[in-house]
Structure 1
Amino acid sequence: MSYINPTDFAKKMVDAGEAKVFMSTRDTLIRAYMAGAILALAAAFAVTVTVNTGNPLIGALLFPVGFCMLYLLGFDLLTGVFTLVPLALIDRRRGVTMKGLWRNWGLVFAGNFAGAFTVAVFMAIIVTFGFSEAPNEVGQKIGHIGEGRTLGYAAHGAAGMLTLFVRAVMCNWMVSTGVVAAMMSTSVSGKIMAMWMPILIFFYMGFEHSIVNMFLFPAGLLLGGKFTIMDYLIWNEIPTVLGNMVGGLTFVGAMIYATHYKTSPARIPDTADEQPLAVPAE
């Protein structure tokens, strides 16, 4: 699969973060919009497969097709730039500032949301025949997901919020591992294989992904889900964004940067430890 060693792809991570900071507003928005739309379509696909087969594992096994597609096309998710862009700032790349970081994050958030919301509207039309009848089984499932992952957390109060945040942290631990995994190979098949594994884990485990939720929850509201916009924002989207940021930057970006890009000097052997092993008497 033309494997690239960690030292080399760590440099590619920092270079990618720098490039995203200086990308034009138009290109950033277009790439973020398409990423949000493709990931939302993959989520709709996975829910449809789960409903039709009755087996969530099959839906989780197939969901990564959207993630792989959008990264092979060079599009950007908020969860990915949470991990890559700060590395360019930490590395003190010339011209990279906090203002540039926030600009990139803000544009990618807006583009991802617009793309995901577009697919939410399209799917709502499809599962209701243009809002002329009640949602079909897939539409009902989407509505129930929104209820369970807002009001379900709210019912547990602070413990629910903690659970939501930790699920979001673990989500981007896996998703950003997928983003980095794409840099481990120079072949398409190698990239897909490496990306597929962590994305499968996040989706099947029910972790909270801010961009997937930009599709599921607006779609759920359009389809009559029994929760409100404020429920969505307070008991899902805002904590999920924060958790995704912590998970990607802390457990993926910072760790790889620290050990593979800014590698500590090797230990100098202690001369006392270099004595030859005693040869047992015959």
Structure 2
Amino acid sequence: MSYVDPPQFVSKMIDAGENKVFMSARDTVIRAYMAGAILALAAAFAVTITVQTGNALLGAVLFPVGFCLLYLMGFDLLTGVFTLVPLALLDKRRGVTVGSMLRNWGLVFVGNFLGALTVAVMIAVTLTYGFTVDPNEVGQRLGEIGSSRTVGYAEHGAAGMLTLFVRGVLCNWMVSTGVVAAMMSTSVSGKVITMWMPIMLFFYMGFEHSVVNMFLFPSGLMLGGDFSIADYLIWNEIPTVVGNLVGGLAFVGLTLYATHARTGGEWNRPAGSEDFAIPVKANA
């Protein structure tokens, strides 16, 4: 069977986190660059579908194509390394330190941003014929998204900031679930199916993904969005990054690690109950 049980895929999560820490700076940035670019293209694709069909659900259903492609090619998103790399630190893998973890996060952030920004420029060019005409409906929608998800939050003050943070938490709860779900199968079809479901959920629900936003907001600025770079950083990107970190690590990485890699042991089993228990593999 292609299914991998939890103790095994949690071990794979820890190994993956360790491997990312020791990857060269060059490889880390290139892989992150490509991940940001592919996810940005998928976001542009989903927005185009939504605008042209008027059906947001259809855009969300098709958006995960980008995530599945980048994952299968071994590229890295900031949201994924937020969840995987700390597990190698918790597991006390040799050579994994707080400094090396922060190095990985920083390099992936830079790569993701550069990749997403590259696609933002390309999309802006294609929607305006090299900035010689006004943006079409898709371009106008990109500008509106940037405004509503920065100034829109700011209008609510602290409540808006809290909402933004929680949406960031919920986003990476789902996105990291997609990353982990791909490790539950050894077949390409199994990986794609398990990744597709949580990614579709996060996109349709309008949760905040730091890397997707690295495309949406720069492109929105270039296409006439009514917000500033400071609005983008303060009222979206920074709180979203923090929310993504908390969501992926607290609700996915740590829960799986604590219950499948470093379990709390068994509750006292009544005498004789072993005869009726279903055999299970020991935790790694």
How high is the TM-score relative to the length of structure 1? Answer: 0.95
Residue 139 of structure 2 corresponds to residue 144 of structure 1? no
Secondary structure in structure 2 of the residue aligned to 1:3: coil
Distance in 2 (alpha carbons) for counterparts of 1:136 and 1:105: 36
Q: Which residue of 2 aligns with 1:125?
A: 125
Instruction: Tell me the alpha carbon deviations over residues 4-29 of structure 1, each in whole angstroms, 9 at most, x when there is no partner.
Output: 00010000000000000000011000
Once the two structures are TM-superposed, the CA of residue 272 in structure 1 deviates from its matched residue by: 11
Q: What is residue 176 of structure 1 aligned with on the other side?
A: 176
* Equivalent residues in 2 for 1:82-231, closer than 5 Å: 82-231=82-231
Q: Deviations over 1:87-112 (max 9, x none)?
A: 00011100000010000000000000
Task: Find the counterpart in structure 1 of residue 45 from structure 2.
Answer: 45
1:271, distance to aligned residue in structure 2 (A): 5.5
Give aligned pairs, total: 274
Deviation at 1:155, TM superposition (A): 0.2
Residue 268 (structure 1) shift: 2.0
Distance 1:271 1:6 in 2: 27
Residue identity opposite 2:98 in structure 1: M
* Residue deviations 1:182-240 (CA, integer Å, cap 9, x gap): 10000000000000000000000000000000000000001110000000000000000
CA–CA distance in structure 1, aligned partners of residues 40 and 169 of structure 2: 20
1:252 alignment counterpart: 252
> Could you tell me how far apart the structure 2 residues matched to 1:86 and 1:3 are?
25
Give, in whole Å, the separation in 2 of the partners of 1:143 and 1:60. 19
Instruction: Quote the offset at 1:176 in angstroms.
Output: 0.1
For residues 261-281 of structure 1, the C-alpha deviation after alignment (integer angstroms, 9 at most, x for no partner) is: 11221122256999xxxxxxx
Q: Which residue of 2 aligns with 1:280?
A: none
Separation of aligned partners in 2, 1:33 and 1:77: 9
Equivalent AA in structure 1 for residue 219 of structure 2: A
1:56-85 CA-partner distances (Å, limit 9, x unpaired)? 000000000000000000000000000000
Task: Tell me the equivalent position of 1:278.
Answer: none
Give the AA of the match of 1:237: E
Amino acid in structure 1 at the alignment position of 2:26: R
3-state secondary structure, aligned to 1:183: helix
Residue type matched to 1:161 in 2? M
Does 2:70 match 1:73?
no
Any idea what SS the aligned residue of 2:195 has?
A: helix
TM-score of the superposition, structure 2-length normalised? 0.95
Q: Which residue of 1 aligns with 2:15?
A: 15
Deviation at 1:142, TM superposition (A): 0.2
After TM superposition, the structure 1 stretch with the greater mean CA deviation from structure 2, 257-266 or 137-146, is: 257-266
Greater shift, 36-45 or 258-267, is seen at 258-267
The separation in 2 between residues aligned to 1:233 and 1:203, in whole angstroms, is 21
Measured in 2, the distance between the counterparts of 1:195 and 1:95 equals 31
* Aligned residue in 2 for 1:277: none
SS in structure 1 at match of 2:183: coil
Q: Which residue of 1 aligns with 2:24?
A: 24
The amino acid across from 1:176 in the alignment is: S
3-state DSSP class of the match of 2:263? coil
Aligned amino acid, residue 254 of structure 1: L
Report the 3-state secondary structure (helix = DSSP H, G, I; strand = E; otherwise coil) of the residue aligned with 1:130. coil
Identity, % of aligned pairs?
Answer: 73
- Corresponding position of 2:280: none
> Partners of 1:227 and 1:191 in 2: how far apart?
39
Let me know the Cα RMSD of the aligned residues.
Answer: 1.3
Bigger Cα Rg: 1
Name the aligned partner's letter for residue 88 of structure 1.
A
Cα distance change on mapping 1:53 and 1:107 into 2, 3 Å = same
CA distance in 2, matches of 1:171, 1:72: 21
CA distance in 2, matches of 1:36, 1:181: 20
